Structure 1
């Protein structure tokens, strides 16, 4: 893309030579990463050559998110009821398809459930940290009540 001619010998009249030079060199490592390239000829300003710009575009790769079972899910009481609930849903098809679908649904449900659960746990952790900080500030300022000391412990 760009200029029709990219090089000029800077002479006038019939001695003037215009050529299209559109070569761009890259190594093999760069070739592995390039999926789409565009060569642009920029404007000639103070030289007899037009600068050549190589624009490299790498398309966004969509990676499929894989959900894997986490052992910590088994330690939560609510996870068992959640699995039972998902497992009891009716499915149609042959036995292998039904089994695969139930595993898929269960993993997906557990994943989103645990994500919400961890958000709740993080909020609870932040709340408890603030309570502990307040009690520690009260303790540093003077005497502290027995109830607050128990909470701190």
Structure 2
């Protein structure tokens, strides 16, 4: 590392990045995954931080390198999500928004109706998914908390079962969000 001018970046999160997923005395925790940056990169970045994320789908914690980001905001576009059609209430929302009166030539009216409808669907779906997203965030925090607890010392069998249950619940919630 020294010969190649590589430096490990300070990290936050669980101290260990790998686990063999065994119980009791057979359980092994190690820090295997690291982020290394050379001096030239450090000079360009100035601010760099590595986050050890929760171990959910693997025996390794994903690591996330965060560097100073510019605060440029691009104008976002709203696109129709096919999953909206599978929810009860979506078609009633579209009908009510579409019936609103508009003025102008036919092309302008059509564009305005599309814009209003997509915007209404966007905010409607945002409310619908807010519950799932908050559950996802809560589960991620709870998993991270248990994994941090584990990095400080051995977990009891009950806490290990709770960790596995929370990981499973997170995977189910993520599947629902992705649908």
Q: Fold-level match, TM-score > 0.5?
A: no
Bigger relative contact order (CA 8 A; separation at least 6): 2
Which protein is bigger by CA-based radius of gyration?
A: 1
Range class of TM-score, shorter chain: 0.3 to 0.5
TM-score normalised to structure 1 length:
0.41
